[in-house]
């Protein structure tokens, strides 16, 4: 049970009958004067990575100008409502190592800290990825070092592990991504999977009432809003579970798990919501999300965009056809819309003097620039958030030709508190502000 006191530890959790619920940063936690690590008092910096496969249609991606208040290109138009929060980076490259699959290398090595000559036994420039380098430092202060999520609805495993994971502890040691939202929720909030129960909020309600008596008006409002966000995620999972039950009743050959019945936007959003919950409760400060795997021949259904499932990878090789290219541009816009929605949710979470987004770096990118050419030059890269003030927003920053994307990775790990002057083939930290 929570003890009454004029200030509250950042580590305080609500407990009850097989569940624990971490709390968001409250004002009562900021009042503690004695040192308790970086997570106490000042909001921590978070890093999230949102991966899109198979590159983008380059002709529609690049703006005509650079600098502050740049003109959004057709593909970037979904970012307009959040443009004040984003920075676009162009001309960032990674050297492709010949003799290995272009898509596998693009996915597995996107966040790799390896230089081109640092080949793994499999022939990929793959070492520890930067999210795991960040996690080594940030994970000293959180319940989970990192969180790896995937919106891949398939279990056919027709591709190797290199296509379906972007986070690695080192070559041969993959940080496998989780694909079941309920399993992620249970893991984050320590719900006993074997226990039949309704809401995690019901389990911790008594402890929450005890805490509420010690909170001020602002903290009570923040706690209520946070509890409602927990309930929203629970409802999302409940809805898809009910949908699965309805499919079962129709005797249609159903997917084996409820999350396989989600639409693409539902799947991406619920995973993003789980990331946001983990960030705001300081359960982790590092998260990766794969919107879908690299290459992957299984067709994806994108409701509201296409009238039938599409094979994203095959489409990229038909860009000579104007009709196909237009469809690809629409899919690029779909991914940016999902990203923009998550960014807006993060911006709406108050934290300290700003928002959760202000204290985060949420990056959208791909390990391949053009899916038809299999090239790694001018990788699509967008950062949302200000990283605690380290990052300029509403900017298009065009680097000199041939700038390694490792320069950006170096800058980002420095923002996360990692002491490093070089990573992979970096030539210096990229200017972010």
352: Cβ–Cβ under 8 A, 6 or more apart, which residues? 25, 30, 42, 43, 358, 359
414, burial (CB in 10 Å: exposed 0-12, middle 13-18, buried 19+) = middle
118 within some domain: yes
Sequential pLDDT tens for the chain (433 residues): 443 444 666 656 656 655 666 667 676 665 443 333 444 457 899 999 999 999 999 999 999 999 999 999 999 999 999 999 999 999 999 999 988 888 999 999 999 989 988 998 888 899 999 999 999 999 888 878 899 999 987 766 667 888 889 999 888 889 989 988 888 877 776 554 434 445 666 656 666 666 776 777 777 777 776 777 677 667 656 654 554 454 344 343 333 345 666 788 989 999 999 999 889 878 889 999 999 889 877 777 887 888 888 888 888 999 889 999 999 999 999 999 999 999 999 999 999 889 999 999 999 999 999 988 889 999 999 999 999 999 999 999 999 999 999 999 999 999 999 999 999 999 999 999 7
Range of the domain at 105: 46-189+264-415
* pLDDT given at position 387: 96
Which of these, 119, 159, 166, 408, lies nearest to 286 by C-alpha position?
166
Q: Are strands 286-290 and 46-51 parallel, antiparallel or unpaired?
A: parallel
Tokens of 214: 């010690």
* pLDDT given at position 2: 41
202 within some domain: no
* pLDDT given at position 34: 34
- What DSSP designation does 44 have? P
Which of these, 428, 300, 291, 265, lies nearest to 367 by C-alpha position?
291
373: Cβ–Cβ under 8 A, 6 or more apart, which residues? none
Tokens of 345: 């949710």
CATH number (domain holding residue 340): 3.40.720
Return the beta strands (E) in 94-205 as ranges. 147-150, 168-170, 173-174
Compute CA distances 292 → 32, 306, 381, 407, 408, whole Å: 43, 17, 17, 26, 23
Q: What SS3 state is found at 311?
A: coil
* Whole-model pTM over 0.85: no
CA distance 325 to 60: 10
103, β-bridge pairs: none
206 within some domain: no
For residue 141, the tally of other CB atoms under 10 A from its CB is: 18
CA distance 134 to 61: 29
218 within some domain: no
CA atoms within 13 A of residue 422's CA, in its CB half-sphere? 6
* pLDDT given at position 193: 43
Residue entry with tokens 């923002």: 415
281 within some domain: yes
26 within some domain: no
368 within some domain: yes
* pLDDT given at position 401: 93
Instruction: Work out how many domains the chain is built from and give that number.
Output: 1
What does R_g of the chain's alpha carbons equal in angstroms?
Answer: 22
* pLDDT given at position 322: 93
346 within some domain: yes
């Amino acid at each position: 049970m929570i003890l009454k006191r004029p200030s509250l530890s950042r580590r305080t959790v609500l407990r009850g009958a097989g569940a624990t619920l971490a709390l968001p940063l409250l004002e009562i936690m900021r009042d503690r004067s004695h040192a308790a690590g970086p997570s106490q008092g000042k909001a921590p910096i978070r890093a999230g990575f949102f991966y899109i496969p198979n590159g983008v249609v380059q002709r529609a991606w690049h703006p005509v100008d650079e600098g502050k208040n740049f003109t959004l290109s057709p593909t970037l138009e979904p970012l307009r409502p959040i443009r004040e929060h984003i920075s676009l980076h162009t001309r960032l490259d990674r050297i492709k190592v010949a003799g290995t699959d272009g898509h596998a290398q693009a996915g597995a090595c996107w966040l790799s800290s390896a230089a081109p000559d640092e080949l793994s036994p499999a022939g990929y420039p793959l070492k520890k990825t930067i999210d795991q380098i960040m996690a080594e430092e940030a994970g000293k202060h959180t319940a989970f070092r990192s969180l790896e999520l995937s919106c891949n609805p398939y279990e056919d495993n027709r591709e190797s592990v290199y296509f379906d994971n972007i986070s690695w502890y080192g070559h041969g040691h993959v940080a496998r991504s989780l694909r079941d939202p309920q399993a992620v929720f249970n893991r984050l909030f320590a719900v006993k999977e074997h226990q039949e129960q309704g809401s995690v909020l019901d389990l911790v309600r008594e402890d929450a009432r005890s805490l509420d008596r010690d909170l001020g008006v602002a903290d009570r409002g923040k706690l209520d809003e946070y509890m409602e966000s927990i309930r929203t995620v629970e409802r999302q999972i409940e809805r898809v579970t009910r949908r699965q039950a309805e499919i079962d009743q129709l005797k249609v050959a159903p997917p084996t798990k409820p999350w396989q019945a989600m639409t693409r936007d539902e799947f991406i959003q619920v995973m993003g919501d789980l990331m946001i919950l983990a960030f705001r409760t300081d359960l982790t400060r590092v998260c990766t999300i794969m919107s879908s795997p690299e290459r992957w021949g299984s067709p994806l259904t994108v409701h509201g965009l296409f009238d039938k499932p599409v094979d994203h990878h095959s489409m990229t090789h038909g860009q000579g056809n104007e009709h196909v290219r237009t469809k690809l541009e629409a899919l690029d816009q779909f991914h940016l819309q999902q990203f923009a929605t998550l960014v807006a949710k993060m911006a709406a979470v108050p934290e300290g003097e700003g928002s959760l987004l202000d204290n985060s770096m949420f990056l959208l990118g791909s390990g391949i620039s053009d899916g038809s050419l299999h090239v790694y030059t001018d990788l699509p890269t967008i950062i949302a958030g200000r990283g605690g003030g380290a990052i300029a927003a509403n900017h298009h920053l065009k680097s000199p030709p041939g700038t390694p994307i490792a320069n950006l990775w170096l800058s980002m790990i420095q923002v996360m508190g990692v002491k490093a002057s070089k990573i992979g083939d970096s030539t210096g930290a990229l200017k972010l502000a």
